[in-house]
Amino acid sequence: MSEFILEMRGIIKEFPGVKALDNVNLKVREGEIHALCGENGAGKSTLMKVLSGVYSYGTYDGEILFKGEVCKFKDIKQSEQLGIVIIHQELALIPYLSIAENIFLGNEQAKRGIINWNETVAKTKELLSKVGLDESPHTLVGTLGVGKQQLVEIAKALAKKVKLLILDEPTAALNEADSENLLNLLLELKKQGVSAIIISHKLNEVARVADSITILRDGKTIETLDMKKDHVTEDRIIKGMVGRDLTARYPKRESKIGEVIFEVKNWNVYHPFQHERKVIDDVHLYIRKGEIVGIAGLMGSGRTELAMSLFGRSYGKKISGQIFKNGVEIDVRNVSKAIEQGIAYVTEDRKGNGLILMEDIRKNMTLSRLNKIAKWFIVNENLEIIESEKFRNRLKIKTPSVFQKAEKLSGGNQQKIVLGKWMFAEPDILILDEPTRGIDIGAKYEIYTIMNQLAQEGKGILMISSELPELLGMCDRIYAMSEGRITGEVDRYKATQEGLMKLMTKTRVRG
Amino acid sequence: MQVPTQKMSSHHSAANESKTRLFAQTIKNHIRSYSMVVALVLIIGLFQILTDGILLRPLNVTNLILQNSYILILAIGMMLVIITGHIDLSVGSVAAFVGALAGILMVEHHVSMTATVLVCLLLGALIGAWQGFWIAYVRIPAFIVTLAGMLLFRGLTMVILEGQSIAPFPKSFQNISSGFIPDVFHGDSLHIFTMVLAALLSLLFLWLEIRKRNEQKKYGFEVGHQAVFIAKLIGVLAVINLFAYVLATYEGIPNILLILAVLITVYSFVANKTIAGRHIYAIGGNEKAAQLSGVKTKRVTFWVFVNMGVLAALSGLIFAARLNAATPKAGNLFELDAIAACFIGGASAYGGIGSVSGAIIGGLVMGVMNNGMSLLGLGIDWQQAIKGLVLLAAVAFDIYNKNKSA
Ligand SMILES: Nc1ncnc2c1ncn2[C@@H]1O[C@H](COP(=O)(O)OP(=O)(O)OP(=O)(O)O)[C@@H](O)[C@H]1O
Ligand SMILES: [Mg+2]
């Protein structure tokens, strides 16, 4: 048997109007962690879907060898039988089922069609301890955070006797502690002989866990590097991905800070269903013209809830407090009022809250400000095409035209549509919730540049991010949040990761 | 592989290539509605042959329009409901209830026709508001609210009619459904006014199409080949004028056709070209995202049901006028015909997809089949069974198409 557990040769996959994969080769050694890197739309997810049988044999060209044998998968089931398990970019667990039910979904521990629940639960316990998740098998998955759900996905993979585990951007939605946890688990599994392919835009993670790395660009294999032998650095990977040296991660900006443009006072929000639970507790904050303000907080600290409650009260109940724009109190009872007042909110959940997947790019881009291209409530479609093309070009969204449906785009390009949609709305205050999640290094740089441009134009920007380096690199000022309260405010020059971390984990003294 | 679309106006080969690709894409997107048009033509052709040419005789074409008008009107409203991701099972009962009210007002209390029609449409709006309130604001699933409405309004119909039919309606009211637009030119064997109208309509269509093309040129977009454009124009003009000619050799344009034409035009326009239309599609596509884009999701949903109520009332009036009676059984199963028309016409059961023209085509497919099978002497029993199969086949074909293009 060869040293490679997997060989993909000359894979070509075309969609109408797009050649997503153009003669791609990928070789993964037995027992290694192999990283797959590339810009948004490079074809990473597509390649993994080909491998796992999501795109069945015959819909692509090329050859797949697993453990030296040619594979012609018709569906996922067949690849899973051989131990190839994929965890998709978007999690696929069923929120209303328990952990145990999810893990053995489609793989039920049953005899003659009757499920043996005792065995199911026992096996689940075993798997959960393997992935280091301390939860009851009966817990509903919907009540778990994303980090824990990710672990359930892995447990589910282990239940299928996985030989080759594929993770598509597993840490994109995780905070640092959870990411750390997950990466350690991967290393642990490696010791037990599970090979893995990991797709990630977080290159520090790649550098930490991967043994080798294959770089894709525009649907082609650029190179495969051996992390140890080739002394691969993050900069080296970036060079392979974008085809040139990227000197700085964060574009420079001369801050021209003006008057306070946006101010929040005494902001309190309660949970929408548990009416006694205070989610946001007496928040005060302000943004000045031309300023980029960060919010650092762990998952569950209330940062998204704060942003959404400010944006036309789209989250929470019993909201109280005041919002001022340019010193005048404004009424933002609902989202359309907030938009009228020049507030925009770029959601962290692009599929759930940001996009209408079945509609084309053009209609998604213009939805929040249709009156801009309408006269007497009639939409000028020609103007709409011109305008959306403009943003497609400015954001370098990879797609043949603005008539492409949003669901057909790669994850990172979808994120860019959401951003473009709110740039089209021409807000004065832009709230960005994890704006670079799942976005490649090059595109991140572009988005930072655009943020800087918007700031230069005198807009106020509030940026929520789980990545502290990003906040430190971009913001003039950073608020730290914990348990729904602002626990500190630091200036760009005084801020450090350690200092922020301390503020973000500060808990209330209960007496 | 970045296509320089900014230079769309220039005639770069790359831009051209992207345009052809784009064209192919739009064709693909529309393949469903086109294939239903083709299916409709085939069905018409089939029955034309099977019935020895009776199907397309002027008398029968006129009948076809009269027979199907009330379902088509319901289908227009239903399409909007389905696009927002809901359903309305109550429309048949509402139509009956409104018809009953019209009977009581006009036949028993001798209220004038105009007043009656206005009151009835208002009642429809109120019923729609009632159901829309529960669905949009209280968030009870439309299936349940309108199922309740179906029972409620059928029951109320029987209550107010005391189980009896009311007839006959005044002549002027019957005219809505059975009258024709008078020929001001008093043609002999040919209804001249109809042909004049057709000519005017043709000119209007020509003007709109040419204006649209010029507009696109002005914006610097590639427009399709001139020959294709002209062929399309000639095709449409031929259909308009032939159809008018067929009608003109009988009694001309039925009043009801005029009402239908206005409704189809207005609703297509609203759905495709206006902000309200965009909002309706957006809600069906992803309610959460729509809401976070400033769409007033509750309000729009509410008004979609109010609109459905008004159209159901209109449909009930037209049915009563055609039957020349208000009966407790009126409108039975109309809701299912209207819903079927929408799905045959390409609506998605999950919301967000569908078109007014699709609903009309779907309604016509069913209408022609009903009519054709009746002409062949097939009983209601078989008609029902065959319609069921057609509905299933149409949607299966749709799903097959989608999987193929994925
Ligand atoms: N179903 C589809 N139909 C048409 N085009 C598609 C489809 N799926 C993917 N594509 C296109 O194929 C290309 C590769 O997409 P893919 O999702 O593999 O990118 P990716 O490398 O995973 O990017 P990201 O980092 O943004 O997730 C993109 O240009 C995308 O628009
Ligand atoms: Mg991807």
Contacts of A358 in chain B (CB under 8 A): 285, 352-353
DSSP B212-273: HHHHHHHTT-----HHHHHHHHHHHHHHHHHHHHHHHTTT--BHHHHHHHHHHHHHHHHHHH
Residues facing A264 on adjacent strands: A285, A323
| Nearest ligand (C-alpha, residue A436) | 1
* pLDDT for residue B403 is more than 60: yes
pLDDT-based confidence at residue B380 (cuts at 50, 70, 90): confident
Q: What is the arithmetic mean of pLDDT over B202-225?
A: 87
Give the tokens for residue B376. Answer: 């062949």
Q: What is the 3-state secondary structure (H, E, C) of A24-75?
A: EEEEEECCCEEEEEECCCCCHHHHHHHHHCCCCCCCCEEEEEECCEECCCCC
pLDDT in tens, A436-448: 887 888 788 888 9
**What is the C-alpha to C-alpha distance for residues B220 and A172, in angstroms, rounded to an integer?**
41
pLDDT of the residue at B25 = 53
Give the tokens for residue B308. Answer: 């459905």
* pLDDT for residue B11 is more than 50: no
* pLDDT for residue A232 is more than 90: no
Give the least confident one: A45-54, A111-120, B241-250.
Answer: A111-120
- Percentage of residues of chain A with pLDDT beyond 90: 38
Q: What is the arithmetic mean of pLDDT over B212-236?
A: 85
The answer to whether the CB atoms of B274 and A389 lie below 8 A apart is no
pLDDT of the residue at A442 = 79
| Cα A409 to averaged position of ligand 1 atoms, centre (Å) | 5
Most confident option among A457-466, A490-499, B91-100: B91-100
pLDDT of the residue at B228 = 85
**What is the C-alpha to C-alpha distance for residues B278 and B283, in angstroms, rounded to an integer?**
9
* pLDDT for residue B33 is more than 50: yes
**Ranges of each domain in chain A:** 4-242, 258-342+429-436+458-511, 343-426
CA distances in angstroms from B255 to B115, B183, B261, listed in the order given = 19, 12, 10
pLDDT in tens, A388-397: 999 998 888 8
CA angle A72, A76, A80 (to 5 degrees): 90
Give the tokens for residue B215. Answer: 């507009």
Average pLDDT value for chain A: 88
pLDDT of the residue at A468 = 86
Q: Does A266 reach chain B within 8 Å, measured CB to CB?
A: no
Residue to mutate (ligand 1; options A13, A15, A39, A221; most atoms within 8 A of CB): A15
* pLDDT for residue A105 is more than 90: no
pLDDT of the residue at A261 = 93
Neighbours of B390 (CB within 10 A): 18
Cβ atoms A392, B2 nearer than 8 A? no
Nearest atom in ligand 1 to the alpha carbon of residue A398 is: 29
What fold, for A4-242?
Rossmann fold (3.40.50)
For A382, phi then psi, to 5°, come to: -65, -45
| Cα A436 to averaged position of ligand 1 atoms, centre (Å) | 17
Q: What is the arithmetic mean of pLDDT over A127-132?
A: 85
CATH topology agreement for domains A4-242 and A258-342+429-436+458-511 = yes
**What is the C-alpha to C-alpha distance for residues B89 and B337, in angstroms, rounded to an integer?**
11
pLDDT of the residue at A245 = 66
| Cα B250 to averaged position of ligand 2 atoms, centre (Å) | 63
| Cα A19 to averaged position of ligand 1 atoms, centre (Å) | 9
Average pLDDT value for chain B: 87
pLDDT in tens, A400-441: 889 889 988 888 889 899 999 999 999 999 999 989 887 888
Ligand 1 within 6 A of CB of A236: no
Q: Where are the alpha helices (DSSP H) in A319-426?
A: 335-340, 361-366, 381-394, 411-424
Cβ atoms A268, A278 nearer than 8 A? yes
**What is the C-alpha to C-alpha distance for residues B363 and B69, in angstroms, rounded to an integer?**
9
Residue with tokens 């799903």: B399
pLDDT of the residue at B26 = 55
Give the tokens for residue B212. Answer: 């649209």
Contacts of B276 in chain A (CB under 8 A): 377
Q: State in words which class domain A258-342+429-436+458-511 has.
A: alpha beta
Beta strands across the sheet bearing A84-87: A84-87, A164-168, A195-199, A33-38, A212-217, A220-226
- ipTM reported for the complex, 2 dp: 0.80
Beta strands across the sheet bearing A343-346: A343-346, A429-433, A460-465, A292-297, A477-482, A485-491
pLDDT-based confidence at residue A110 (cuts at 50, 70, 90): confident
Contacts of A336 in chain B (CB under 8 A): 294-296
Q: What is the arithmetic mean of pLDDT over A106-130?
A: 85
The answer to whether the CB atoms of A401 and B8 lie below 8 A apart is no
* pLDDT for residue B8 is more than 70: no
pLDDT-based confidence at residue A247 (cuts at 50, 70, 90): low
Short-list B335, B393, B327, CA closest to B365:
B393
Q: What is the arithmetic mean of pLDDT over B202-211?
A: 92
* pLDDT for residue B30 is more than 60: no
Q: Which of B22, B26, B278 sits opposite A363 (nearest CB)?
A: B278
Contacts of B294 in chain A (CB under 8 A): 312, 335-336, 338-339, 368
The alpha-carbon gap from B231 to the nearest alpha carbon of chain A, in Å, equals 24
Residue to mutate (ligand 1; options A24, A214, A410; most atoms within 8 A of CB): A410
* pLDDT for residue B9 is more than 50: no
CA angle B266, B350, A379 (to 5 degrees): 35
Contacts of B281 in chain A (CB under 8 A): 356, 359, 363
Q: State CA B211 to chain mean position distance.
A: 26
Contact residues, A window 457-486, toward B, CB-based 8 Å cutoff: none
| Cα A145 to averaged position of ligand 1 atoms, centre (Å) | 27
Cβ atoms B370, B351 nearer than 8 A? no
Ligand 1 within 6 A of CB of A466: no
Residue to mutate (ligand 1; options A8, A11, A18, A416; most atoms within 8 A of CB): A18
Ligand 1 within 6 A of CB of A409: yes
Q: What is the arithmetic mean of pLDDT over A170-181?
A: 80
pLDDT of the residue at B404 = 61
| Cα A68 to averaged position of ligand 2 atoms, centre (Å) | 27
pLDDT of the residue at B321 = 94
CA distances in angstroms from A397 to A117, A402, A413, A415, listed in the order given = 48, 9, 6, 9
pLDDT of the residue at B107 = 92
CA angle B350, A380, B258 (to 5 degrees): 70
| Nearest ligand (C-alpha, residue A39) | 1
pLDDT in tens, A182-220: 899 889 889 988 999 999 888 888 888 999 999 998 889
The answer to whether the CB atoms of A17 and B21 lie below 8 A apart is yes
Mutate to test the interface with A, among B17, B279, B292 (most CBs of A within 10 A): B292
Nearest atom in ligand 1 to the alpha carbon of residue A414 is: 26
Ligand 1 within 6 A of CB of A44: yes
pLDDT of the residue at A338 = 94
Residues having C-beta closer than 5 Å to ion ligand 2: A 45, 410-411
What does pTM read for this prediction?
A: 0.84
pLDDT of the residue at A192 = 87
Contacts of B215 in chain A (CB under 8 A): 382
Burial of B115 (0-12, 13-18, 19+ CB in 10 A): exposed
